[in-house]
Amino acid sequence: MRDKVLNISNSNYDVDSNSNNKKSDRKMNIMNKIKSNKKVSGILIALLITIVGLIPLLVLTYWADPQHPYSIKKITLVSDDGTKITALLHQPLSNDSKLDAGIVNAHGYCGNKQHNAKISIELVKRGFTVVTLDFRGHGSSDGYLGENRQGLYLDMMAAIKYLENLGYIKKFGLIGHSMGGSAAFSVAEAHPDKIKALVAIGSFRANLTPAKAPNLLVALGRFEQVATLDEALTYLTTYVGGSPIEVGKLYGEFSKGTAFKIVIGPTSEHLYETTEPTIVKETVKWFECAFIGRDPNASDEDIHLTVGYSQFFYNLALAGVVALGFGLIVYLRSFIFKKKDIFPETIDEQASIGKLYLLYLLVGLIGLLFSQSAVNLFEATLPVSSGDQLFALMVGTIIGILLAWFALTIKSKEKKFSELPSLISHLSPGNPCRSIVFGVISAILLCTLIALISDWNTVTTFLTVREIGTVIFMTFLFFPLFLMKEFYFRMVQSHLSHENRFKEYFSMTGIGIAMEITLYIPIMLLTWGEFLSLSLTVLAAFAIIQQILVTWVYMHGGRNIISSSVFLSILYGWMIVNFFPFGMY
């Protein structure tokens, strides 16, 4: 009888247990459905934002002024030394609005044809035919940027010859941003019979005269890092016969080729001067005064710019496409890893976030000092201009990280420094092959999505064959360096509270950005007016971008620093070949 009672009791326990398990399973299924619905909703919202930004962007690029239609097509130029140069031809379609003036639009160092294309759109709307080129080594062009940069002159001349061969172009103007401005000055001085007007953006030379640069407009951003206003006011007095120059005042006469003016873009710095509405409007007005006799004192209310709207919708589409990439990475994680999030234990209880943060300031200083002092050790390491400095900076940063780790452990009785490999392995849990695959696919996915939005509108981002090879080479070259850097950053992240994944993401992104750029800001301010300040501006911008992206990849890549290191290596290589020109290698 007792056995029967026990059996009945056990039977009831099994029923209750099965019932509880079913309830738990149902609860888990409901939670999974809710999470899945959130993922789908997030992707749909990101897709909607992308479309809302993309459609107006397409319209403002190809149909910005229906009353004055134009075409944009890619062309190939050939310089006198045989280098193939890619360019965009912006050409009015209506013969009634087509002018006999052609303009060559040249970008700056690390730029490409898309950086200046916004100005070209505003000009073609007004009837000008514009060739916007990729200098050799930049964008999709062949060749290499020589140290003396004489090839830039040949590239601009190839664009002028192309305009001449169109048959209807009789007058020529030049636009040059930064390095492109220097090339434009060389062309104007060598061909005073051809060039009738010149706009130099973020660029000028000393001892300029109307004979060397006729009808010259100099446009600078208020926060210009390199070609500062004070220097312009000092060096350009020769153009007006030695008299003091006033900003915004028109000197000379267009009919005599002596017109001169300095204008300031109120919201821009060096990199974004070509999209500053004030500078763009002054550029359009300048060429109309030089080529069609517009009254320089007349109101410019008839010049309706779309560059500001275009920039807004580009940023909106870019935000949407990055959010879309984030959503797809979440699905990619589920497909590759098929397991819950991993939360690594804190690997060093003695090191607080504040201590790790302060040590990284020392790391950054070591990296900068090393990149300046030992740059010649890495000459020609990367087949791009300034590649030796970039690699030296990364090597210096890793030396700094090793010294920082030593500083964390030197007072300890245990020899923790010798345990560094095992601690790196601690942050590399799971299957390394899957982590590598996840990092590679995530990088290709995000880079492709960004390129789809940017390539035809803002920056040339689709890779040529030689660029693909360079990215692969740099991925292997940078991977061990980024593995050490990711070790340091995820060591910081392991000290954060894991109770809320999104809170952790935003906290670590903010901490990571602060760690990367805190050192740069005072140095930028101290060196304002020098090239170093511009370089640090670029590094700071890229540091922000990479922290936003790589932290997300790490958290959804099985929390494995192999995934994030592979991703960061590919992203870094892709960004370098998109912005840095191929150099003397």
Q: Look up the CATH number of the domain holding residue 93.
A: 3.40.50.1820
The answer to whether residue 570 sits within a structural domain is: yes
Beta-strand pair 70-78/84-92: antiparallel
The answer to whether residue 530 sits within a structural domain is: yes
Predicted confidence band of residue 424 (pLDDT cuts 50, 70, 90): confident
Q: Which pLDDT does position 395 carry in this prediction?
A: 95
The answer to whether residue 508 sits within a structural domain is: yes
| 430 and 292, same domain (yes or no) | no
Cα separation, 398 vs 166, whole angstroms: 54
Q: Above pLDDT 70, what percent of the chain?
A: 89
Q: How many domains, in total, are found in the chain?
A: 2
The answer to whether residue 434 sits within a structural domain is: yes
The answer to whether residue 28 sits within a structural domain is: no
Residues facing residue 85 across a β-bridge: 77
Instruction: For residue 288, give the nearest of 164, 123, 163, 67 by alpha carbon.
Output: 123
Average of per-residue pLDDT values in the chain: 87
* Domain end point (choices 282, 309, 336): 309
Average pLDDT in the 286-299 region? 95
Higher pLDDT: 124 or 16? It is 124
Residue type, 529: G
The answer to whether residue 62 sits within a structural domain is: no
Tens-digit pLDDT profile for residues 159-196:
999 999 999 999 999 999 999 999 999 999 999 999 99
| 237 and 109, same domain (yes or no) | yes
| 107 and 178, same domain (yes or no) | yes
| 392 and 243, same domain (yes or no) | no
Which residues span the domain enclosing 574? 349-579
| 283 and 165, same domain (yes or no) | yes
| 358 and 248, same domain (yes or no) | no
* Domain end point (choices 279, 309, 339): 309
Q: Which pLDDT does position 407 carry in this prediction?
A: 82
The overall longest dimension of the chain from CA atoms, in Å, is 121
| 380 and 297, same domain (yes or no) | no
Of 18-27, 58-67, 86-95, 203-212, the one with minimum mean pLDDT is: 18-27
| 284 and 361, same domain (yes or no) | no
Tens-digit pLDDT profile for residues 476-534:
999 999 999 999 999 899 888 777 788 899 999 999 999 999 999 999 989 888 888 88
* Domain end point (choices 261, 291, 309): 309
| 245 and 384, same domain (yes or no) | no
Instruction: For residue 484, give the nearest of 402, 576, 393 by alpha carbon.
Output: 402
| 395 and 289, same domain (yes or no) | no
| 357 and 268, same domain (yes or no) | no
Q: Which pLDDT does position 344 carry in this prediction?
A: 56
Helix/strand/coil for 95: coil
Phi and psi at 171, nearest 5°, equal -125, 150
The answer to whether residue 332 sits within a structural domain is: no
Tens-digit pLDDT profile for residues 453-476:
887 765 556 777 888 999 999 999
pTM, 2 dp: 0.87
The answer to whether residue 10 sits within a structural domain is: no
**Which residue bears the tokens 């749909």?**
44
| 249 and 385, same domain (yes or no) | no
